[in-house]
Amino acid sequence: MMWGTLQAHRGVKEIMDLKFQGHPEVSIILHQHLIDNAVPRSRFEKLQGKFVTLQKAVEEIKNKSDKAMSTASAAALAAKKK
């Protein structure tokens, strides 16, 4: 048990000495992560387009609600004055 712990510390020290770059163990894991999580450019651009469309819709809803609140406030003030 102690021998395994010391071996693990030695392995971690090697990786840390290389600042987690260039070590074969880290390179393999990093490469596999990039392959597993890559997003095709076409899919990214499609999602980006949807996001822009949603941003515009949210901005439009904000403007309409601001206008509605302003109208309601003006009507309430007018009603109080009467």
pLDDT confidence of residue 65: 97
**N-term to C-term CA, the chain:** 87
Q: What is the DSSP letter of 17?
A: H
Burial class (CB in 10 A: 0-12, 13-18, 19+), 23: middle
The whole-model pTM stands at 0.50
- Give the pLDDT confidence score for residue 54 in this predicted structure: 97
**For residue 28, what pLDDT is reported?**
86
| Tens digits of pLDDT across the chain (82 residues) | 788 888 888 888 888 888 777 778 778 888 899 999 999 999 999 999 999 999 999 999 999 999 999 999 999 988 888 7
Domain chopping of the chain, boundaries: 1-38, 41-82
